[in-house]
Structure 1
Amino acid sequence: MNIEITPKESSGVDRHVQITVPAETVRDAEDKAARRYASSVRLPGFRPGKAPPMMVRKKFADAIRQEALEALVRDAYKEVVEKQDLKVASQPHVHDLKFEEGKPLTFELHFELRPTLELARISGFRVTKRAVTVTSDSVQEQLEAIRDQRAAWAPVEEKPMPADMVNVEISTGDDSSEAKSYPLVLGTGQAIPGIEELVMEASPGETVERLVRWPDDFPDEAQRGQAKLVRIKLHDVKRKSAPPLDDAFAREVGDFESLDALKAAIRADLTESSTREADAEVRQKLVDEIIGANSFDVPKSWVQQFAANYAEAYQIPEEDREKFATEFQSMAERQIRRDLVLETIAEREGLGSTEKDIDDRITAQAEKRGLNPGQLYAQLEKNGRLKEIERSLTEDKVFQWLMERNEVQTES
């Protein structure tokens, strides 16, 4: 394509390029677009594709010029990328477009490049790793959580207490609609404190009412601090009854001969989980050290897309997405920098995961879950999870490589 490419002042990963397309090339593009239109459009009195070219150009002048323009911009961008062997990170934006009849087409292309990481220093760092300790209180807390999961709700004929489940009708003085029944677990924040206090004044079957003040931090600002007459009718109260912590409980939970065996399994699980967390912290510290020692830019478009993906995944309301993107920006940029560092080291040092690595990981997972490895592989492939495993294995190799070249001290 006959075009003139003039690089403009750029910085970091941003690139601005001035494009000039000669009038003759523009005319050729318009002729090509006109021929395409002439071969397919229908005009009264003519068979498809048989209308005179001049008539077609006159009737579809704007559409033909628009098609020619889009083709010229697209081809110009492709030529810029291919001629300069660029690794582009984002789609281009067109600025200062001038497209006048019989004159050259001129415009600027703005786009971002994928950053090139030199990573001159990735060894010789010293990071600390917190000591992994699991206390008896932590074990007991987890044991109580398991016990709570197996607790049963039983009706009681007395006033409710915090943690009780109630079925209650609630109506306010400004509510003309029919009162509705709500299941509530008291003390969990499902209702405002004043209403919970009123509920706990009633016995099953009783109706009570009084003024309740709405809290100052109530989500609806218009209702903050207001006092309203609230009427509640308490239908029933249920209280949670937890089983005793004994050997029988341990056998019911799983394949444990005694309560001590269950506690030992809980301690082992907590130790394993805490060790994973400590290792993850060390990995992030190492990456932060590398990022701090090796400056590189991150494409803004990547950060924006990363934030947009999270907003979509967490179903952030449209009106809150701009605020979310602003608050999430630093976290998104940090994650992108981390990924770029790991990808660069993996590629440079040949640390990518192999098919055998993936097969071995899936086989180990299958044995742990009592599944056939082939069936698990097919399931992971169907759900698009193989890439995730490949990435995890590669990261493990990179961090193992980094651990051998940097000092990790365990806190005493």
Structure 2
Amino acid sequence: MQIVETLNEGLKRAYTLTVTAKDIDARVDEEVKTIAPQVRMPGFRPGKVPANLVRKMHGASLQREALDKSVRDGVEKLISENKLRPAMQPTVELTEDYEEGKDAEVKVTLEILPVVPTPSIDGLKLERLTVEVTDAQVDEAVERIASQSQRYEDAPKTAKAKTGDQVVMDFTGKVDGVAFEGGTGTGMAVAIGSGNLIPGFEEQLVGVKAGDEKTINVTFPKDYGAANLAGKDATFDLVITAVKHPSDKPADDEFAKQLGLESIEKLRELLKGQIEQEHNGLTRTFMKRRLLDQLAAGHDFEVPPGMVEAEFGQIWSQLEHEASHEEDPEAALAEMEKERDDYRKIAERRVRLGLLLSEIGQANGVEISQIEMNRLIAQAAQQYAPQDRERFVQYVQNEPMAAAQLRAPLYEDKVVDYLFEKAEITDRVVERADLEAAIESEDSDLHVHGPGCGHDHHDHDHKPAKKAAAKKPAAKAEAKAEEPAAEAKAPAKKAAAKKAAEPKAESTEAAEAPAKKPAAKKKTAKAEG
């Protein structure tokens, strides 16, 4: 095999691989020897089919397999011999259609990771803004839960229901005088004014009292879920079994027990802990942003354009999705277009910070244990249907790039924790509103932050349609995903070589790979006859 470098410009590289017909033919012979014992053909005993017949039967597929393997080996060789560190999957394509018996010429293009200057992590200074949990905050949380879990007490039998009261009833629904399926029930409770029933239903409950029988008239909405009822007029025969007033009892032990807790104090402890976690999350977000600001300010180096483009694509896709849900999507998109260059700069800085964090982690022995990795895979697998989870686990275990993407957020957190330990930290107690304002502040140069691979670890929303806050969408988009996009430096080499076996396939996202597995198996099965 001949390997010729055709481009060496910045971080871009290109090579031409020439796979000789002799090499391909030799590989076909090897494959024939491998599968021949398994091939069955009428007139021959199992495993006794002549090699020339096996070649004739499966020649085309064997040629493709041989070419794939040759290209894969060639890409591995050029990466190894040239000591390359691919930033993304190399693009591998045949320069012309392959013809059996002729040499095959393959073009390989890729971008490599830059040589990152030794990161300077000395002299980092951070301020830790903390928020204390007050009794008033806990009281507010308790009241919020109480309001969401409204309790009701039986009203006097003569009491007439009013808005806010709960009515308990038995009912029979009819269309054209005939009861319809699903329109009959007993003991249904509804709060008047809740809007939980079809329009006009709850309003007609005002004035009823326990023991009343009443028929009400309603019209199902045209977009009602059941097509046989949509837009139809209906009647409901009601028997009112109880009317209840909202309870004004304070949240007490009885209320806590309804929630499955021992006492109101246990509820307060639980809520206090939740608020503390929220505050700690805000504190970490603030510190992390300041940390990334300092790192970005002290390091500047070229980054792979392909990685920047991929990162920008993720940012832009997310913004387009969120703009589509604005009141005026067209205006939102137009506002985004004005800041396209800003978002691209954000993508570039994310990638640079990702490479920087990766370098810091590797230089200082930051690692993710196999136990931690197994836990990550198991958690991610839960997002899939039960029958697909094992396949997902196998895919991650067999695809280094997919595993790297999965581990990136945790790896970044561990690197950030390491840097927190190295930094000189001063503490200041502030109000929550002040901390939130500091996180959102544009004065703090938070337009650009850590690199991402599409995961959102912080509660930030883009608001691209609001012109008055034109810079804020950029700041929030930048803060969305701060895990290192290039953390997968070590396994990139293997992944690139593996993917290169597909001569006409360009770089593929991890999510596509599982769909390719069955195809690969099918090809093998065919070759085996």
Normalising by the smaller structure, the TM-score range is: 0.5 to 0.7
Q: Give the 3 Å change call, closer, same or farther, for CA 167–120 of structure 1 in structure 2.
A: farther
Alignment of 1:142-153 (within 5 A): 142-145=141-144, 147=146, 152-153=151-152
> Which residue of the partner structure matches residue 100 of structure 2?
101
Q: Say whether residues 1:346 and 2:351 are aligned partners.
A: no
Distance 1:194 1:409 in 2: 55
Alignment of 1:126-275 (within 5 A): 132=131, 134=133, 137-145=136-144, 147=146, 152-156=151-155, 158-159=160-161, 161-162=163-164, 164=166, 177-178=180-181, 179-181=183-185, 190-191=196-197, 195-198=201-204, 205-211=213-219, 229=233, 231-232=235-236, 241=247, 243-244=249-250, 270=275, 273-275=278-280
| SS of corresponding position for 1:46 | coil
Pick the aligned partner of 1:279 from 256, 280, 284. Answer: 284
Cα distance, 1:141 vs structure 2:
1.1
Distance 2:192 2:354 in 1: 45
Distance 1:338 1:38 in 2: 53
CA deviations 1:270-310 (Å, max 9, x no partner) are: 45642442233221342255347546457479869999xx9
Please tell me whether the aligned partners of residues 120 and 294 of structure 1 are also in contact (alpha carbons under 8 angstroms). Answer: no
Q: Which runs of 5+ in 2 are unaligned?
A: 319-342, 373-406, 435-529
Please tell me whether the aligned partners of residues 132 and 429 of structure 2 are also in contact (alpha carbons under 8 angstroms). Answer: no
Question: What letter matches 1:57 in structure 2?
Answer: R
Question: What letter matches 2:48 in structure 1?
Answer: K
Question: What letter matches 1:347 in structure 2?
Answer: Q
Q: Give the 3 Å change call, closer, same or farther, for CA 276–65 of structure 1 in structure 2.
A: closer
Cα distance, 1:395 vs structure 2:
3.8
Please tell me whether the aligned partners of residues 167 and 183 of structure 1 are also in contact (alpha carbons under 8 angstroms). Answer: yes
Higher RCO (Cα < 8 Å, 6 or more apart): 2
TM-score by structure 1 length? 0.59
| SS of corresponding position for 1:50 | coil
Question: What letter matches 1:283 in structure 2?
Answer: K
Q: Give the 3 Å change call, closer, same or farther, for CA 335–140 of structure 1 in structure 2.
A: farther
> Which residue of the partner structure matches residue 313 of structure 1?
none
Cα distance, 1:173 vs structure 2:
6.2
Identity of aligned residues (%): 23
Distance 1:188 1:7 in 2: 70
> Which residue of the partner structure matches residue 319 of structure 1?
none
Distance 1:138 1:332 in 2: 38
Alignment of 1:1-400 (within 5 A): 2-8=1-7, 16-88=14-86, 92-96=90-94, 98-109=97-108, 117-118=116-117, 132=131, 134=133, 137-145=136-144, 147=146, 152-156=151-155, 158-159=160-161, 161-162=163-164, 164=166, 177-178=180-181, 179-181=183-185, 190-191=196-197, 195-198=201-204, 205-211=213-219, 229=233, 231-232=235-236, 241=247, 243-244=249-250, 270=275, 273-288=278-293, 290-291=295-296, 294=300, 296-297=303-304, 299=307, 341-350=356-365, 395-400=416-421
Cα distance, 1:21 vs structure 2:
0.8
Cα distance, 1:105 vs structure 2:
1.0
Instruction: Out of 72-81 and 236-245, give the one that drifted further.
Output: 236-245
TM-score by structure 2 length? 0.49
Distance 2:24 2:47 in 1: 23
CA deviations 1:38-90 (Å, max 9, x no partner) are: 34322222223333332322222222212212222222232233223334465
> Which residue of the partner structure matches residue 380 of structure 1?
none
Please tell me whether the aligned partners of residues 8 and 16 of structure 1 are also in contact (alpha carbons under 8 angstroms). Answer: yes
Cα distance, 1:264 vs structure 2:
9.0
| SS of corresponding position for 1:57 | helix
Distance 2:196 2:115 in 1: 51
Question: What letter matches 2:247 in structure 1?
Answer: S
Please tell me whether the aligned partners of residues 171 and 184 of structure 2 are also in contact (alpha carbons under 8 angstroms). Answer: yes
CA deviations 1:153-199 (Å, max 9, x no partner) are: 55556436448476675969699942254765666664566555455
Distance 1:408 1:63 in 2: 67
> Which residue of the partner structure matches residue 383 of structure 1?
none
Q: Give the 3 Å change call, closer, same or farther, for CA 190–123 of structure 1 in structure 2.
A: farther
Please tell me whether the aligned partners of residues 253 and 262 of structure 2 are also in contact (alpha carbons under 8 angstroms). Answer: no
Q: Which runs of 5+ in 1 are unaligned?
A: 311-328, 359-385
Q: Give the 3 Å change call, closer, same or farther, for CA 300–64 of structure 1 in structure 2.
A: farther
Question: What letter matches 2:25 in structure 1?
Answer: R
Question: What letter matches 2:363 in structure 1?
Answer: R
RMSD (Å), alpha carbons: 5.5
CA deviations 1:4-41 (Å, max 9, x no partner) are: 243547776x7654322122222222222333343432
